[in-house]
Structure 1
Amino acid sequence: MVVTVICINVLISLVCLYVARRVWKLRRGLARIDRVLVRLEHRANMLLCRTRNFVERGNSTSSQLKQKYDSLQQKLQQLEKIVTIVRLTQLLLLRKRY
């Protein structure tokens, strides 16, 4: 009877040792994954910060280009009006001559 109890206790302790070893390996693996994820998060954060700076610069540049385009568009409209006036003047002058 005592031998049976000792054998059962040894088997239980071996099972507990096996479970503890598996939990320890799992914990070690999870710690490794955690370190990798922390590094990836840090790199992604740095990349996003750089990207945000590029986007902000691009937005300011594009707004400057829009302003220049609007100014050039207004100047083009003025030039077209001047050209139209000059053509009308030429037509009127040519009609008066004939």
Structure 2
Amino acid sequence: MFKWVIAIDLIFALVNFYLAWKIWKFRRVLAKTALTLACIERQTRTVLYPAPRVILTGKRGTHALRERYRSLQIYLQQVQQILTILQFLPIGQRWIWQQRQRKSG
């Protein structure tokens, strides 16, 4: 009976040592993973730190470009209206005809 108790205790001890060894290995993997993630986070922060300023600069540039495009559209509409009116005038038809001849000639 005494041999059985010692054998069971040894089995429990071996199982506990095995579990302790597995937990210790898992802890090392977690520690390495934590260090890697911390390094990645630092590098990401370094790369993305200026991003808000760059985005705002791009936003301002895009806004200015859109405003310029709107003003050019208005200007284009006005020029088209003027050319349409000139087509109906006798002098305008002659002027447009001369411009076309100069381009083709």
TM-score by length of 2: 0.66
Listed one character per residue, the Cα deviations across residues 6-63 of structure 1 (whole Å, up to 9, x for unaligned) are xx22321122122112201210111111111111122123223433444454444333
User: Which deviates the most, 74-83 or 41-50?
Assistant: 41-50
In the TM superposition, residue 72 of structure 1 has moved relative to its aligned partner by: 0.5
Distance 1:19 1:87 in 2: 94
Unaligned 5+ residue runs, structure 2? Answer: 93-105
Which residue of 60, 70, 74 corresponds with 2:67?
Answer: 74
1:86 and 2:91 aligned? no
Distance 2:34 2:15 in 1: 28
Amino acid at match of 2:78: I
1:27 and 2:3 aligned? no
1:13 and 2:6 aligned? yes
User: Which deviates the most, 50-59 or 28-37?
Assistant: 50-59
Question: Alignment length, in residue pairs?
Answer: 91
Identity %: 14
CA root-mean-square deviation: 2.5
1:97 aligned partner: 91
Amino acid at match of 1:68: G
User: Which deviates the most, 61-70 or 10-19?
Assistant: 61-70
TM-score by length of 1: 0.70
2:37 aligned partner: 44
Which is bigger in relative contact order (C-alpha 8 A, separation at least 6)?
Answer: 2
User: Which deviates the most, 49-58 or 24-33?
Assistant: 49-58
